[in-house]
Amino acid sequence: MKRSIRDLVGLEGKRVLLRADFNLPMNKVGKITDTTRVVSELPTIRYLVERGAKVIICSHLGRPKGFEFRLSLWPVALILMKYFPGKVQFAHKVIGDEVAKQVESMSNGSILLLENVRFYKEETENDPEFAKHLASLADIYVNDAFGVAHRKHASTFGVARLLPNAIGFLMENEINTIEEAIKNPKKPFVAIFGGAKVQDKIKVILNIAKVADSILVGGAMAYSFLVAQGHTIGQSLINAESVSSASQILDELKTMGKRIVLPIDHIAYNLSDKKMKPFQTEVLSGDMVGADIGPKTINLFEEEIGRARQIVWNGPLGKYEDEKFKAGTFKIAKAIAKSKAYSIVGGGDSVSAVKQAKCDKLINHISTGGGASLKLMSGEDLPGIDVIQEKYI
């Protein structure tokens, strides 16, 4: 078990470098569209502020190449100022004399938000000198950026090795919830997978299959499984690699004696019909492209969900971004929300779909990390967690 901020004593006056995940979604003109990630970070920040720590917050935003004005964290500083009036300052740099001076002038219980750490290429290179500069700003390092826990970057990994460290509340909650669901699942445990890339999800499907009672598969990835089983799928989205991944999974599931449930009907469109009018089909062939699960499949999945005591869901069941093909994903989101099962949803698109379907409040755990939650569910080690000290040493 990793050391948490609860285990840190004597925080008064200590400089704490908090790695947060303020990678907020933005629209085309760079306006922040959702502040959930800031709100989720408030308990950790409050805990540190209330104990008189000097809280230096570091985060990335987007994937800048050098300094990019539209990816500045300044708008996030403005959001923080609303929650901590009079306590927040912004640093236009991440390292250097200017920042060091700002840190020196911090009073106990105040906050300094550093500029976007990815403005420095040294961050993603996990540059040791850069990590040293970061470490020099603080006495203690706290990692609460679950969304990037699978990255071996200077601010998520390098710096952690140079300072006494701990995880924050958000990270602790993610680890405990996901690990518990995999180690001690409530039965029947139904896992639902969708989305586009089977290759990216082999490990997670197989690891969850070890403990799940049934695996439901929809979305584009279902077509790779259908092809692997010898069905025709028309022009639906597949590639050679995804089909071979799907057959590998099918073989292993067979050996494990696990049940996989694939779509029995689809909402499809004709490739040559530019209007893309949706229609239902049992069997896909010719120019037809499967873009959502059909009504019979929805019923079938709903029955499985109704029997479940635990559900893990990753990956939309259709092209949910398109009004015509969102019904499958939204109906399954609603069924999960309504069910009595303990539910976990992970993955960037899946979480976004659940929110759009207005089901997020009824899901037990919405993971804040896409890639990170999949890795954790796969039973893989995440560098950003691994590097943190154990609770008892």
Q: Which residues bind ligand ADP (CB under 6 A)?
A: 194-197, 219-220, 237, 290-291, 314-316, 318-321, 347-350, 370
Check: CB of residue 221 under 8 Å from CB of residue 199: no
Kindly report the backbone phi and psi dihedral angles of residue 321, in degrees, each rounded to the nearest multiple of 5, phi listed first. -65, -20
Given the residues 46, 93, 152, 197, the one annotated as active site: 197
Using the minimum distance from each CB to Mg ion, give the nearer residue, 304 or 349. Answer: 349
| By CB under 5 A, residue 52 contacts Mg ion | no
Using the minimum distance from each CB to ligand ADP, give the nearer residue, 102 or 373. Answer: 373
Binder of residue 141, out of ligand ADP, Mg ion, none (CB less than 5 to 8 A by kind): none
Kindly report the backbone phi and psi dihedral angles of residue 213, in degrees, each rounded to the nearest multiple of 5, phi listed first. -95, -35
Given the residues 37, 151, 326, 375, the one annotated as active site: 37
Indicate if 37 belongs to the active site: yes
Question: What is the rounded CA–CA span in Å between residue 365 and residue 337?
Answer: 11
Indicate if 296 belongs to the active site: no
| By CB under 5 A, residue 379 contacts Mg ion | no
Using the minimum distance from each CB to ligand ADP, give the nearer residue, 236 or 339. Answer: 236
Q: Which long-range contacts (CB under 8 A, 24 or more apart) does 119-122 make?
A: 119/64, 119/66, 119/67, 119/68, 119/71, 119/94, 120/94, 120/95, 121/66, 122/154
Binder of residue 350, out of ligand ADP, Mg ion, none (CB less than 5 to 8 A by kind): ligand ADP
Check: CB of residue 117 under 8 Å from CB of residue 137: no
| Smallest gap from residue 197 Cβ to Mg ion (A) | 9
Residue 328: both structure tokens together: 């499958």
Residues 331-360 that bind Mg ion (CB under 5 A): 348-349
| Smallest gap from residue 241 Cβ to ligand ADP (A) | 15
Question: What is the rounded CA–CA span in Å between residue 279 and residue 288?
Answer: 10
| Smallest gap from residue 218 Cβ to ligand ADP (A) | 7
Binder of residue 319, out of ligand ADP, Mg ion, none (CB less than 5 to 8 A by kind): ligand ADP
Given the residues 13, 52, 62, 371, the one annotated as active site: 371
| Smallest gap from residue 348 Cβ to Mg ion (A) | 4
Binder of residue 122, out of ligand ADP, Mg ion, none (CB less than 5 to 8 A by kind): none
Give the sheet arrangement for strand 288-293, strand by strand: 279-281, 266-270, 288-293
Question: What is the rounded CA–CA span in Å between residue 239 and residue 151?
Answer: 28
Query: For the chain, how big is the Rg over CA atoms in Å?
Result: 23
Using the minimum distance from each CB to Mg ion, give the nearer residue, 158 or 219. Answer: 219
Biggest alpha carbon–alpha carbon distance for the chain: 69
The CB-nearest residue to Mg ion is 349
Using the minimum distance from each CB to ligand ADP, give the nearer residue, 278 or 318. Answer: 318
Quick one: DSSP state of residue 284? B
Residues annotated as catalytic (active site), given as ranges? 37, 197, 348, 371
